[in-house]
C-alpha cells in the first residue's frame, strides 16, 4: 500500500505545483470573463487557526473546507456565511477601522455557479493579492502565490461545477525578512485581495501570449511573436491591424510558437498623440483583441529618444495610494485622478513606485499619453544572498513585464530602489536586468540609485550597477535629509557614465494648509522653497533627461508618526490625500511649462 500511496501523493504535489505555476493569461479583458468582485465573506484569523492545528501542523480540514455542522451536535468553530464581508478588490485596512494596522491572515470566500462549455478551459485569475495567497476551490488547494502586486491564475477546468462552487483564499500580509519587499518599507502594508478576481474562459487551444511592438530600432516595422497553448499547437494565425491595413499570416511551429516581422505605416504613439490601434491575434481556434500603441524608445549617449526625437521626461513619482479615499488604488477612476494631476502639472511621465501598479493604471496611461517607469519592490535592504528571495523578485519582475509588455506607455523597467552597493546586491540586480532584457528587449532598464559624496558639494553617480542600466535613476534629498534648500545652489553633479539621468526622487514634507516661513519645516512655504532651489539646480545638470519628484500625493506610511503633521502619512506629496494642491505643485507646473516650450536639444 505504502508505495502506491506515496506515489499518489507525489503526483498530487507535482500537480499542485504545476497548477500554481499556471502560465499567466494576459489581457483578460479581451476574454470571456465572469467577475467575482464585490462582497466576499471573510474571517480574520490572526493565529492562523484555520490553517494549523494546536501542534502547528497544517490541518487537513482547515477553513478552506467551508464546513457546516451536519447535525446539531457537530462542532464547527467558524462560519463564513455568518461572518463579516469585505469588498474585493480592496485592501482590508481601510474597510474596517480595527484592521487599519492588521498584519496577518484573513480568509476570503466567494460562492458561484459556472456552466463550462465543451472545448473550453477556465482559469481563476487574480489581479493582485497582498502579499501571499493560498487558493482553494471547493475545498481543494489550487496553489499559491507570493507577491502582492502582480497577477496570477490557476486552471480550474476540471474542478469547477455547474452549481455550488466556493473559492476560498487565505490571504496573509505578514512582513518577512526574506520577502520582496522585506519588513522595512516607507508605505502602508495593505493586505487583502487588492485586484479584481475573474473567471477567464478560453478555447481548448488558445492564444497564451503575444508581443506586437515596433521592431527595436525601427519606426516602420512591427515585430513580435505569438504562442498557443493547448492540444492543437500547429495552426495558421493572423495579426490584424485593420486601421493600418495589416493582416499578416504566419504558421506556428510544433510548440505553438510563431514569430513575425512586417512593414507597417502607423501613426506613432506619443504623449502628445497617444494613438492606439485595434490589434487582433486570430488563430484557427481563438481570437484576442488588444489596443496597442507603437513607439520607439532608445538612448544615445545622455540623450533619451522617443520615436527618434530627444525627449525630457517631465514626471512625478506616485504610489498606488487611492486619491480622495486612501487605501490601495486599483480602479480606472483612481488612475484617472492620479494621471489627471500628472497632466495638470504639465507632466508627460510618471514613476509608478515602488511596485507594479494596477493594470487599469497602465492602460489609462496608454490612453492618456503618460509615459511610465514601472518598478518592482526590490527596495532598500532585501536578502541579497538568499536564493529564495532572488527567485521571488525574479518571479514578480517577470509577472510585471509579462502583464504589461504590450503597453506603449511603459518605457522604463526599474529593477530596484535605493539598494546598497555590494557584491551580492550587484549580482542580484544584474541578474534581474538580464531577466528584463530576455522578456522585453525593446524597453530601457533603470534603477533608482544613491549618490556618492565626493565632498560636501560634489556629488557623483558611480554605482557599478550603472554599467548594466540604460538610464540612471538617482534619489537625492538635498534640502530635506541633506542640508537646507540653499545647499542646492552650491552642489555640482558628476556622472561616471555617458547615460541619461532621471532624478528619480527629491522633495520634502509639508502638511497642506500649514503655513510659515521658508525655513520652517512642514510648511508649504518650506516645501515650495525647496522645490525652487531644486529646480534651479536641476537646470544645471547637463546629463539630466527627466525628473520625478517625490511624490504626487501624500500616502500612508507607518514610519511617519509626527502628530498633527504626519499622523501616519508621508507628507511629501505635492497634493494632499484629499486632493488639495500644495504650493510646490505650482513650482513644478511652472518648471514643466518652461521645459515643454524651451527644452530643445539636438541629438548628438
**Using CB under 6 A as the criterion, which residues of the chain lie in contact with ligand GCB when the complex forms?**
186, 354, 417-418, 475, 505, 550, 570, 572
Closer by beta carbon to ligand GCB, 490 or else 559: 559
Closer by beta carbon to ligand GCB, 186 or else 284: 186
Q: What is the 3-state secondary structure (H, E, C) of 448-469?
A: EECCEEEECCEEEECCHHHHCC
Enumerate residues 6+ apart whose C-beta is below 8 A from 23: 208, 209, 229
Closer by beta carbon to ligand GCB, 206 or else 550: 550
- Minimum CB–partner distance for residue 439 and ligand GCB (Å): 25
CA distance 583 to 507: 13
- Minimum CB–partner distance for residue 328 and ligand GCB (Å): 16
Q: Is 359 helix (H, G, I), strand (E, B) or coil?
A: helix
Closer by beta carbon to ligand GCB, 303 or else 418: 418
> Environment class of residue 545 by beta-carbon count within 10 Å: exposed (0-12), middle (13-18) or buried (19+)?
buried
Report CA 224 to chain centroid distance, whole Å.
Answer: 23
- Minimum CB–partner distance for residue 414 and ligand GCB (Å): 11
- Minimum CB–partner distance for residue 508 and ligand GCB (Å): 9
- Minimum CB–partner distance for residue 438 and ligand GCB (Å): 27
Closer by beta carbon to ligand GCB, 347 or else 507: 507
Structural element, H or E, at residue 238: strand 236-241
- Minimum CB–partner distance for residue 314 and ligand GCB (Å): 20
- Minimum CB–partner distance for residue 355 and ligand GCB (Å): 11
Q: For 309-343, give one letter per residue: b (16+ CB within 10 A) or e.
A: ebbbbbbbbbbbbbbeebbbbbbeebbbbbbebbe
Closer by beta carbon to ligand GCB, 398 or else 576: 576
CA distance 102 to 98: 7
- Minimum CB–partner distance for residue 484 and ligand GCB (Å): 17
Q: What is the 3-state secondary structure (H, E, C) of 437-448?
A: HHHCCCCEEEEE
- Minimum CB–partner distance for residue 417 and ligand GCB (Å): 5
> Environment class of residue 404 by beta-carbon count within 10 Å: exposed (0-12), middle (13-18) or buried (19+)?
buried
Enumerate residues 6+ apart whose C-beta is below 8 A from 202: 25, 31, 32, 120, 121, 123, 286
Closer by beta carbon to ligand GCB, 418 or else 577: 418
Q: ∠ CA 564-525-326 to the nearest 5 degrees? A: 45
Q: What is the CA radius of gyration of the chain?
A: 25
- Minimum CB–partner distance for residue 317 and ligand GCB (Å): 8
DSSP result, 143-212: EEEE-SSS-EEEE-TTT--SS-EEEEEEEE----TTSSS-S--SS----B--S-EEEEEEESSEEEEEEE
Closer by beta carbon to ligand GCB, 440 or else 505: 505
Closer by beta carbon to ligand GCB, 184 or else 259: 184
Closer by beta carbon to ligand GCB, 160 or else 432: 432
Enumerate residues 6+ apart whose C-beta is below 8 A from 214: 221, 222, 223, 264, 294, 295, 296, 442
Enumerate residues 6+ apart whose C-beta is below 8 A from 52: 58, 59
CA distance 153 to 137: 13
Closer by beta carbon to ligand GCB, 235 or else 570: 570
Closer by beta carbon to ligand GCB, 123 or else 550: 550
- Minimum CB–partner distance for residue 377 and ligand GCB (Å): 10
- Minimum CB–partner distance for residue 583 and ligand GCB (Å): 18
Closer by beta carbon to ligand GCB, 512 or else 550: 550
Report CA 254 to chain centroid distance, whole Å.
Answer: 34
Enumerate residues 6+ apart whose C-beta is below 8 A from 212: 222, 224, 239, 279, 281, 290, 292, 406
Closer by beta carbon to ligand GCB, 482 or else 590: 482
- Minimum CB–partner distance for residue 102 and ligand GCB (Å): 22
DSSP result, 369-390: T-EEEEE---BSS--TT-HHHH
Q: Is 339 helix (H, G, I), strand (E, B) or coil?
A: helix
- Half-sphere exposure (CA, 13 Å, Cβ side) for 490? 11
Residue number with the shortest CB distance to ligand GCB?
Answer: 186
- Minimum CB–partner distance for residue 550 and ligand GCB (Å): 6
Amino acid at each position: 500500500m505504502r508505495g502506491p500511496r506515496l506515489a499518489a501523493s507525489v503526483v498530487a504535489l507535482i500537480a499542485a505545483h504545476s497548477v500554481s505555476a499556471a502560465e499567466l493569461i494576459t489581457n483578460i479583458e479581451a476574454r470571456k470573463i465572469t467577475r467575482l468582485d464585490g462582497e466576499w465573506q471573510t474571517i480574520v484569523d490572526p493565529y492562523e487557526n484555520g490553517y494549523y492545528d494546536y501542534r502547528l501542523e497544517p490541518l487537513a480540514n482547515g477553513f478552506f473546507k467551508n464546513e457546516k455542522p451536519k447535525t446539531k451536535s457537530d462542532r464547527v468553530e467558524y462560519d463564513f456565511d455568518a461572518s463579516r464581508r469585505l469588498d474585493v478588490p480592496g485592501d482590508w485596512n481601510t474597510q474596517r477601522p480595527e484592521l487599519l494596522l492588521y498584519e496577518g491572515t484573513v480568509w476570503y470566500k466567494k460562492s458561484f455557479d459556472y456552466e463550462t462549455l465543451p472545448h473550453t478551459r477556465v482559469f481563476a485569475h487574480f489581479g493582485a493579492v497582498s502579499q501571499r495567497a493560498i487558493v482553494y476551490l471547493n475545498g481543494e488547494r489550487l496553489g499559491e502565490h507570493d507577491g502582492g502586486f502582480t497577477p496570477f491564475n490557476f486552471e480550474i477546468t476540471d474542478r469547477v461545477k455547474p452549481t455550488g462552487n466556493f473559492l476560498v483564499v487565505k490571504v496573509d500580509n505578514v512582513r518577512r525578512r526574506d520577502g520582496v519587499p522585506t519588513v522595512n518599507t516607507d508605505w502602508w502594508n495593505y493586505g487583502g485581495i487588492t485586484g479584481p478576481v475573474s473567471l477567464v474562459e478560453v478555447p481548448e487551444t488558445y492564444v497564451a501570449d503575444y508581443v506586437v511592438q515596433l521592431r527595436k530600432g525601427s519606426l516602420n516595422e512591427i515585430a513580435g511573436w505569438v504562442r498557443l497553448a493547448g492540444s492543437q499547437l500547429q495552426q495558421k494565425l493572423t495579426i490584424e491591424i485593420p486601421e493600418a491595413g495589416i493582416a499578416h499570416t504566419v504558421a506556428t511551429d510544433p510548440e505553438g510558437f510563431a514569430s513575425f516581422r512586417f512593414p507597417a505605416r502607423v501613426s506613432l504613439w506619443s504623449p502628445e498623440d497617444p494613438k492606439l490601434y485595434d490589434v487582433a491575434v486570430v488563430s484557427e481556434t481563438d481570437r484576442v483583441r488588444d489596443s496597442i500603441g507603437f513607439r520607439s524608445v532608445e538612448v544615445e549617449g545622455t540623450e533619451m529618444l522617443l520615436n527618434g526625437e530627444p525627449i525630457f521626461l517631465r514626471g512625478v513619482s506616485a504610489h498606488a495610494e487611492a486619491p480622495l479615499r486612501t487605501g490601495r488604488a486599483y480602479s480606472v477612476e483612481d488612475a484617472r485622478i492620479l494621471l489627471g494631476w500628472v497632466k495638470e502639472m504639465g507632466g508627460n511621465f510618471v514613476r509608478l513606485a515602488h511596485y507594479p501598479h494596477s493594470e487599469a493604471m497602465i492602460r489609462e496611461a496608454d490612453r492618456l499619453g503618460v509615459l511610465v517607469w514601472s518598478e518592482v519592490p526590490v527596495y532598500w535592504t532585501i536578502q541579497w544572498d538568499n536564493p529564495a528571495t532572488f527567485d521571488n523578485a525574479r518571479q514578480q519582475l517577470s509577472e510585471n513585464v509579462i502583464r504589461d509588455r504590450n503597453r506603449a506607455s511603459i518605457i522604463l523597467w526599474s529593477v530596484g530602489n535605493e539598494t546598497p552597493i555590494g557584491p551580492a546586491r550587484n549580482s542580484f540586480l544584474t541578474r534581474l536586468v538580464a531577466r528584463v532584457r530576455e522578456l522585453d528587449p525593446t524597453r530601457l532598464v533603470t534603477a533608482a540609485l544613491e549618490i556618492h559624496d565626493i565632498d560636501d558639494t560634489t556629488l557623483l553617480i558611480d554605482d557599478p550597477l550603472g554599467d548594466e542600466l540604460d538610464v540612471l535613476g538617482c534619489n537625492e534629498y538635498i534640502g530635506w535629509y541633506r542640508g537646507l534648500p540653499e545647499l542646492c545652489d552650491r552642489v555640482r553633479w558628476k556622472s561616471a557614465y555617458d547615460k541619461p539621468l532621471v532624478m528619480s526622487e527629491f522633495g520634502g514634507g509639508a502638511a497642506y494648509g500649514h503655513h510659515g516661513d521658508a525655513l520652517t519645516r512642514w510648511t508649504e512655504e518650506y516645501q515650495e522653497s525647496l522645490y525652487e532651489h531644486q529646480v534651479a539646480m536641476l537646470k544645471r545638470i547637463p546629463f539630466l533627461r527627466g525628473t520625478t519628484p517625490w511624490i504626487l500625493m501624500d500616502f500612508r506610511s507607518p514610519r511617519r508618526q509626527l502628530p498633527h503633521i504626519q499622523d501616519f502619512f508621508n507628507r511629501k506629496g505635492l497634493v494632499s490625500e484629499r486632493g488639495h494642491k500644495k504650493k510646490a505643485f505650482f513650482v513644478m507646473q511652472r518648471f514643466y511649462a518652461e521645459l515643454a516650450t524651451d527644452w530643445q536639444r539636438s541629438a548628438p
